Chains A and B, each alone.
Chain A
Amino acid sequence: QSALTQPASVSGSPGQSIAMSCTGTSSDVGSYKLVSWYQHHPGKAPKLMIHEDTKRPSGVSDRFSGSKSGNTASLTISGLQADDEADYYCCSYGSSSTSVVFGGGTKLTVL
């Protein structure tokens, strides 16, 4: 069960768009439409932002979008706002161990 690979940090200015990546393997990200993304403000409960690669739960801003190509998924946030500053984790089902694996997390800084 190897963790998915995410960049340690990304940053952007208010109003800009940023994208962060999540790289897995053909046993997880590349084989299933089951990548999800979570926003985590320290001390709070993580929040589901994207599921099944591209779907946005009710109540999540349409500034957040998900995509995937091969073994790499991406989360894009447009029109950056100060409150978007948080840690973001990707997650995928993985068949190699019939389990779930998270990425190491990306810290988003809004400059």
Chain B
Amino acid sequence: QVQLVESGGGVVQPGRSLRLSCAASGFTFNSYGMHWVRQAPGKGLEWVAIIWYDGSKKYYADSVKGRFTISRDNSRNTVYLQMNSLRAEDTAVFYCAREGYPHSTDYGTLDSWGQGTLVTVSS
């Protein structure tokens, strides 16, 4: 079955960097787009970024554009989120999720999710 396991969260000071990882198993990883979604404490879900199945296209939420970078290593079945210039408002649980159809160029169906990793930005 599909399994997504996030790691790399923790406490980081404002302005510093952190890299999240999401290890995937149970499916043909290089056929699926992958998303990052976050949920700040007491708030709703916020979409962060998507990377296409082949890594050829990447799109970001305005709130993270220029600071966060999504990437993938299809040989390691892993997607990453490099987060730079972190702010207090980036404090959230970060989830990775799989786009629902293989080789999809339309997106918005997040059919499998990890359990999330908590990022706390605080001095």
Residues of A within 8 A of B (CB): 1, 3, 32, 34-36, 38, 40, 44-48, 51-52, 57, 87, 89, 91-93, 97-105
B106 interface neighbour in A40, A45, A93, A101, Cβ under 8 Å: A93
A38 interface neighbour in B35, B61, B110, Cβ under 8 Å: B110
Q: Sample 27 A-B pairs with CB under 8 A, ordered by A number.
A: A1-B61, A34-B107, A34-B108, A34-B109, A35-B108, A36-B110, A45-B115, A45-B116, A46-B37, A46-B45, A46-B95, A48-B100, A48-B110, A48-B111, A52-B109, A87-B44, A89-B44, A93-B106, A99-B47, A99-B50, A99-B61, A100-B47, A100-B107, A101-B47, A102-B37, A102-B47, A104-B44
Q: Is the interface of B mostly helix, strand, loop or mixed?
A: strand
Residues of B within 8 A of A (CB): 35, 37, 44-47, 50, 59-62, 95, 97, 100, 106-116
Residues of A within 8 A of B116 (CB): 45
Bound form: Cα–Cα A99–B33 in Å: 13
A34: nearest chain-B partner, CB-CB: B108
Q: A38-B45, A99-B60 are in contact. List 5 more A-B contacts (CB 8 A).
A: A44-B115, A87-B44, A92-B108, A93-B107, A97-B62
Residues of A within 8 A of B60 (CB): 99
A34-B109, A100-B108 known; A45 vs B114 contact (CB < 8 Å)? yes
Residues of B within 8 A of A103 (CB): 44
Flag if A93 contacts B100 (CB, 8 Å).
no
Bound form: Cα–Cα A93–B110 in Å: 11
Output the least CB separation between B41 and chain A (Å): 11
Residues of A within 8 A of B112 (CB): 48
Output the least CB separation between B7 and chain A (Å): 15
Output the least CB separation between A43 and chain B (Å): 9
Flag if A36 contacts B108 (CB, 8 Å).
yes
Residues of B within 8 A of A57 (CB): 111
